[in-house]
Amino acid sequence: MSAAMKTDPYWWEAAPRPEIAAPDLPAKVDVAIVGSGYTGLIAALKLVEAGRSVAVFDSGAIGSGASSRNSGFVGRTLKYSFGDLVKAKGLSHAIATYQEMQQAFQAVADTVAEYAIDCAFRIHGRLVLAETSQQYEDLQREYELRHQHLGSPFETLDKAALPREIGSPRYLGGVVLPDLASIHPGLYHQGLVKAATARGVALHPFTRVANISRESGGFRVLTERGPLQAGHVILATNGYTDGLLPWLQRRLIPFDAWQMATEALPAGLIDQLLPNDRTYIDSYMNIDAIRRSPDGSRILYCGKTGERSDQVTMGRRLIGELRAVFPDLQDIGVSHSWTGRCAATFDLLPHLGTHEGVHYAVGYCFAGLPMGSHFGRLLAQRILQPGSVKSVFADQPFKTVPLYQGNNWFVPWMMRYYDFKEGKRHAA
């Protein structure tokens, strides 16, 4: 199996990373953006459309971070349930937060439509699965509450109804959220690159930004290819945030996420396992995420978040987990196994703000497809119309803990602690 296993993302087959030669470094730009994922490119697009000159820098190939490596689930998911937020911060705050999550979802749909991006964006629903009766009760309570206060549609499925949605003996119930979507994340990113290039955004791959310092009228941005002046600076580096702004690094917990694609399945098998072609997650903190590839040929699976290993070892372990969900996959191997970096925060919430004049949007806690698309727009708006951005996530206290400098050694232990606490079983 491992001989044929590819360690680049499956998504790069249809959307190879763009081969862009970095242009000459400009002496001056209105806005310098660090990071060329969804957040950076969408901010760049909105700024260039408003007449600003923009340069986007990335240490690696353009979009080689999480934006071309993720599972492609487009949802409204926070690590805090609606019910938890009501208890912690009151009903009106919970409603405002989840309404903004809906805006973030909409930001993806709007971006796809606005730039006519052909990226398999489809609203085909999500199935959230319960393995224990406690999870099943919690799911019903949570989605009834969301329906009552936000009008979000859902359908509850008990064990008897589940086979019409999933061919696995593992679960005892679930809820279907019919209005959630999926996307081909690589093609989405590629569409943003095309739109940005066509509108005059200067993309600088393999150009790490090493230092930012304030000077009169803006910033001096030192890249590894030389310095430039910028009126504004945006950090859109999420899980790849380095020591460029140590204040930010101290507030983010980077972690590795692991993803695999099976070989193409024999005809009929995928319809048996995932008959309604939705996206699928379980109800643990350390979630498993399952979906069909957009062409319906194979299953994609994300799990074992936070573990440290290599792609081939993880590919073997992930297929072991997937076979525990679907025993019918015993003879199916792995075609691609890859990894990418996300960022969590100490309050488990995304953050948008400005520190010492530098704008940032980070800490998406696994929801960066919608949140990066939304925050990219808000970052541009903060520069174009200061004071006009309204977001429950903006300018909130951004916690760190004493002595933490960004070394995430504890992440695998933290995830194992959650697994132990919630009783999550692992097969491999």
Ligand X SMILES: Cc1cc2nc3c(=O)[nH]c(=O)nc-3n(C[C@H](O)[C@H](O)[C@H](O)COP(=O)(O)OP(=O)(O)OC[C@H]3O[C@@H](n4cnc5c(N)ncnc54)[C@H](O)[C@@H]3O)c2cc1C
**Span of 59-67, 80-88, 114-122, 318-326 interacting with ligand X by CB under 6 A:** 59-67
Question: Considering CB under 6 A, how many residues would be counted as binding ligand X?
Answer: 41
DSSP 118-136: -S--EE--EEEEESSHHHH
Binding mask 9-28 for ligand X (x = CB under 6 A): --------------------
Among residue numbers 321 through 350, which ones bind ligand X (CB under 6 A)? 340, 342
Residue 96 or 222: which CB sits closer to ligand X?
222
Among 108, 263, 80, CA closest to 185: 108
Can you tell me the distance from the alpha carbon of 172 to that of 132, in angstroms, rounded to the nearest whole number? 7
Q: What is the CA radius of gyration of the chain?
A: 21
Can you tell me the distance from the alpha carbon of 106 to that of 100, in angstroms, rounded to the nearest whole number? 9
Let me know how long the chain is.
Answer: 428
CB of 13 to ligand X, least distance (A): 16
Binding mask 257-296 for ligand X (x = CB under 6 A): x-x-------------------------------------
Among 364, 272, 290, CA closest to 38: 364
What is the CA angle 19-24-27, rounded to 5? 140
Residue 204 makes contact with ligand X by CB under 6 A? no
CB of 116 to ligand X, least distance (A): 21
Residue 36 makes contact with ligand X by CB under 6 A? yes
CB of 363 to ligand X, least distance (A): 9
Residue 34 makes contact with ligand X by CB under 6 A? yes
Residue 367 makes contact with ligand X by CB under 6 A? yes
Sequence-ordered list of residues with C-beta below 8 angstroms from that of 245, at least 6 positions apart, any chain: 212, 235, 355, 356, 358, 360
Q: Which residue is nearest to ligand X (CB)?
A: 368
Q: Which of 194, 208, 220, 225 binds ligand X (CB under 6 A)?
A: 208
Structure tokens at 14: 């249809």
CB of 218 to ligand X, least distance (A): 18
Sequence-ordered list of residues with C-beta below 8 angstroms from that of 406, at least 6 positions apart, any chain: 241, 243, 246, 249, 250, 252, 254
Q: Which residues sit at the interface with ligand X, rule CB under 6 A?
A: 34-40, 57-60, 64-67, 69-73, 208-209, 236-240, 242, 244, 257, 259, 302, 340, 342, 364, 366-370, 372
